[in-house]
Amino acid sequence: MKINNICCLGAGYVGGPTMSIIAQKNPDIKVNVVDMNADKILAWNSKDLDNLPVYEPGLSKVVKEARGRNLFFSTDVNKHIEEADMIFISVNTPTKTSGKGKGYAADLKYVDACAKQIAEVSKSNKIIVEKSTVPVRTSEKIKDILTSYNTNVDFQILSNPEFLAEGTAMRDLEIPDRVLIGGDNTIEGKKAIDSLVEIYSSWVPKKNILTTNLWSSELSKLTANAFLAQRISSINSLSELCEETGADIEEVSKAIGMDSRIGKNFLKTSVGFGGSCFQKDILNLVYISRSLGLKKVADYWEQILIINEHQRDRFSKKIIKCIKNRNLKPKVLILGWAFKKNTNDTRESAAIYVANNLLNKGISIEIYDPQVKENQVNFDLSNLNPDYNKSLVNFVFEPFQNISDYNIIAIMTEWD
């Protein structure tokens, strides 16, 4: 089936960039990205392309080319669901904060709400594409919701997890290592898969488009993130060993990375990984494993998170100890608040945790980040600790002017 009209639910870090590329590469397909957050949609429609809600190198150029031609951002969710042949669900799937699985399981309330809304509004057959990262077998649950609210139309469900990395999203979308599409092994399921393959084939070589069953696709995304995070925790755990022994982690990293079986990527030591995905996806993997009685498997993957937290705490303790031992003025300049360079995303950034640890010891902090706004910093700190001491926090715009005034500078993000 040839797709003419796409609707994407969720205009966030995945929905926005992903749909921009799909629209750019398929000018004959109308792509409507919808979100219930009106401010976000307003920002996506902003004339000032420096003010898009997502900062990604190269994104504004693609938006400029496609927006108003075949790419549209809107809050009119129902209208665009109804018009669409294919609907992507790109909403957030955070860790549950209450109920069964609290602190571990993925909260699927936004995905479920999308499925319900799609079912209620749809009058014609639709292909539903899970873009959000979800627990294995979620597609089954989506199908149940769709069919229990609407028996008049046919819904085909596909899983098409997103592997982009923030900061390099546009390059990752333009030249993906692979595109993964999971679907049902039925005639209708295969037709749905073919429709999505055709959209990606506009710019991705067919050999890089992998098709699997639904559950392999869902689980592959969770495990890809777990493997990537595992490498970071592995190298970070060794950084502590290096500090105790006089070995140099950069040298160790280079030496092991030159082994072609290991490879050099994701071997840089840091204050710990952040971002909205690694932690929540591993927690989810731990939850799924534990729910299936696989305690040893769950414990194995959970250790990655334990090391990550340990690395952040260890870094904070070093600063606190240094101030105390050298009797320094208790003030630290924090360079970088985003969880990595080339993004304005601060979710789970190590900087938030380190800043909180310092504030808890009465140490004042000055913060600079080229892409993060002051209100986001305040939001992040109060989200972690509603009683944080605001008088100890200062946001600076020109940190390098008086750089020699600082005794301690914590480089939290590897911004160039």
Binding site for ligand NAI (CB under 6 A): 9-15, 34-37, 40, 77, 90-93, 110, 113-114, 132-133, 162, 164, 166, 276-277
Q: Is 162 an active-site residue?
A: yes
Active-site residue, from 277, 280, 348, 366: 277
For residues 12 and 23, the answer to whether their CB atoms sit within 8 Å is: no
Maximum separation of any 2 CA atoms in the chain, in Å: 73
What is the smallest separation between the CB atom of 254 and ligand NAI, expressed in angstroms? 27
Ranges assigned E (strand) in 353-405: 364-368, 393-395
What is the smallest separation between the CB atom of 10 and ligand NAI, expressed in angstroms? 3
For residues 142 and 130, the answer to whether their CB atoms sit within 8 Å is: yes
Nearer to ligand NAI, 107 or 366 (CB): 107
What are the distances in angstroms from CA 165 to CA 57, 278, 326, 407?
12, 11, 40, 34
What is the smallest separation between the CB atom of 77 and ligand NAI, expressed in angstroms? 6
Active-site residue, from 40, 96, 131, 221: 221
Report the distance separating Cα 233 and Cα 57, nearest Å.
27
What is the smallest separation between the CB atom of 283 and ligand NAI, expressed in angstroms? 12
Report the distance separating Cα 335 and Cα 318, nearest Å.
17
Nearer to ligand NAI, 11 or 158 (CB): 11
Report the distance separating Cα 179 and Cα 404, nearest Å.
48
Residue indicated by tokens 């890089």 = 208
Nearer to ligand NAI, 114 or 352 (CB): 114
Nearer to ligand NAI, 164 or 365 (CB): 164
Q: And the tokens for 400?
A: 């390098």
Nearer to ligand NAI, 168 or 213 (CB): 168
What is the smallest separation between the CB atom of 90 and ligand NAI, expressed in angstroms? 5
Report the distance separating Cα 328 and Cα 405, nearest Å.
12
* Rounded (5°) CA angle 54-56-57: 150
What is the smallest separation between the CB atom of 104 and ligand NAI, expressed in angstroms? 15
Q: And the tokens for 313?
A: 């705490």
Q: And the tokens for 283?
A: 């927690």
Active-site residue, from 130, 162, 166, 348: 162
For residues 360 and 28, the answer to whether their CB atoms sit within 8 Å is: no
Residue indicated by tokens 């951002």 = 73
Q: Find, among 164, 103, 97, 133, the residue nearest to 305 by Cα.
A: 103
Nearer to ligand NAI, 219 or 277 (CB): 277
- Chain residue whose CB lies nearest ligand NAI: 12
Residues carrying an active site annotation? 162, 221, 277
